[in-house]
Amino acid sequence: MAVLILTSISTRLGRKRKEHLGTAESSRGRKASQVAANLGVAALVSSGVAQSWQINQGWLGLANLGPSAVFTVGLAALCEAAADTVSSELGQLLNKPRMITTLREAEPGTDGAISYGGTMAGVVAAGVVALVGSAALRADRTVFAVSWVGGIFGLLFDSVLGATLERRGWLNNDAVNFLSSASAAAFALAALSVLTHTNMLH
């Protein structure tokens, strides 16, 4: 619900200006492929099938964190999905964007272009989703921090993919969104593994 509310509000804000820029979302809403690309990783990780991964948490080095480890990975993917949409929708209204790879100014809606205002809005959105998700799980600060930072990592990774592979035509936007949410999940998994390993050494 937090993801839906944040993305819906950010999509509707400044719609007339976005239409003028030619960057507004279709009035028909998002396509199924867009929804799957943004939420597919979180859905797969958090599904009943994915719960079998808990059996292998000892192999992944997550045994000490308990069942919430799997959901932390999924939560990071949700944080990235919210951050990506909010930063894209609000960024084009706040500042002149710059390419993440060269820092040169770019037109709003350019693949791989980011703005300070849009990035900060994405960071806040990721934090809100991480907070809501952690509260729903009754989890500790580790779950909150890992999922939040994972979402931010995925947000930046999305821009790098957009500026490189998407601009070259090697990936479309749906593929970029899926890989970006997957990168957020992978970051969270790696972070949890490192934290657990460190605690075991202590």
Classify residue 140: in a domain, yes or no: yes
Is 136 contained in some domain?
A: yes
Full domain range(s) for residue 162: 2-8+34-201
Cβ atoms of 92 and 109 within 8 Å: the answer is yes
Contact 135, 67 (CB under 8 A): no
Residue 18 within a domain: no
**Residue 17 domain flag:** no
Tens digits of pLDDT across the chain (202 residues): 999 999 999 988 887 776 666 655 655 656 778 888 888 888 887 775 455 555 444 444 455 555 677 788 899 999 999 999 999 888 888 778 999 999 999 988 889 999 999 999 999 999 999 999 999 988 889 999 999 999 999 999 999 999 999 999 999 999 999 999 999 999 998 998 888 777 654 4
Instruction: Let me know: does 186 contact 60? Beta carbons within 8 Å.
Output: no
Whether 167 and 29 have beta carbons less than 8 Å apart is answered as no
Residue 26 lies in a domain: no
What is the pLDDT at residue 51?
54
Residue 22 maps to a domain: no
Q: Specify the number of domains making up the chain.
A: 1
Name residues whose C-beta falls within 8 Å of residue 51's C-beta, 6 or more positions apart in sequence: 67, 70
Per-residue confidence (pLDDT) for residue 139, from 0 to 100: 85
CA distance 19 to 26: 10
Residue 62 within a domain: yes
Query: Does residue 167 lie in a domain region?
Result: yes
> What is the four-CA torsion angle of 163, 166, 168, 172, rounded to 10 degrees?
-170
Full DSSP string of 68-89: HHHHHHHHHHHHHHHHHHHHHH
What are the tokens at 95? 């500042």
Nearest to 150 by CA among 180, 194, 124, 184: 184
Instruction: Of 91, 149, 157, give the one whose Cα is nearest residue 123.
Output: 149
